């Protein structure tokens, strides 16, 4: 199981770097709310690095708490992106409503309504890494 845990941690690190890079390239920092995923990703990189270096129960707990914040941020982002996308669609075509509005909003390119699901994905990946982790019992023999 340690190799699977190590693989999950590497996947989490790669996902953080790629998602953070994508957000920076898209200039996802125009207002304070757009900074939330960038700040969380930066904190996630620090937490993953700290845990990879120290392998302590406190670093694992911090990582798990941060991953729960990723879930909340991702779900909040989904709502905000969907609202922005649907408002734009109604502005372009005032007659849109119901399923037709929903379908147009989720398929829109700006803002991409489902993009914040990446934060949910990263949060779940981090929580999978920490699930029943032996490091939570306080032993150091398998803290990977």
pLDDT, tens digit, 9 for 90 and up, residues 78-131: 999 999 999 999 999 999 999 999 999 999 888 888 999 999 999 999 999 999
In a domain, 139, yes or no: no
In a domain, 100, yes or no: yes
Q: What is the pLDDT of residue 11?
A: 97
In a domain, 143, yes or no: no
In a domain, 62, yes or no: yes
Q: What is the pLDDT of residue 139?
A: 54
Quick check: 89 and 101 in contact, CB under 8 A?
A: yes
Q: Which of 113, 112, 131 is nearest to 12 (CA)?
A: 131
Q: How many domains does the chain have?
A: 1
In a domain, 140, yes or no: no
Q: What is the pLDDT of residue 54?
A: 86
Choice between 114 and 41, residue whose per-residue pLDDT is larger: 41
Q: What is the pLDDT of residue 44?
A: 97
Instruction: Determine the structural domain holding residue 96 and report its residue range.
Output: 2-133
- 5: number of Cβ within 10 Å: 19
Rounded mean pLDDT, 46-74: 94
Length of the chain: 144
Apex 14 CA angle, 38 and 121, nearest 5: 65
């Amino acid at each position: 199981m340690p190799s699977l845990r190590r693989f999950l941690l590497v996947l989490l690190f790669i996902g953080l770097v790629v998602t953070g890079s994508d957000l920076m390239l898209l200039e996802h920092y125009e207002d304070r709310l757009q900074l939330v995923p960038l700040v969380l990703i930066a904190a996630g990189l620090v937490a993953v690095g700290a845990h990879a270096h120290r392998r302590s129960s406190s670093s694992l707990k911090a990582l798990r708490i941060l991953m729960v914040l990723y879930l909340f941020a991702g779900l909040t982002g989904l709502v905000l992106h969907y609202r922005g996308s649907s408002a734009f669609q109604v502005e372009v075509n005032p007659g849109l409503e119901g399923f037709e509005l929903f379908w147009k909003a989720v398929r829109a390119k700006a803002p991409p309504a489902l993009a914040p699901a990446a934060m949910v994905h990263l949060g779940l990946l981090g929580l999978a890494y920490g699930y029943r982790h032996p490091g939570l019992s306080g032993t150091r023999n398998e803290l990977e």
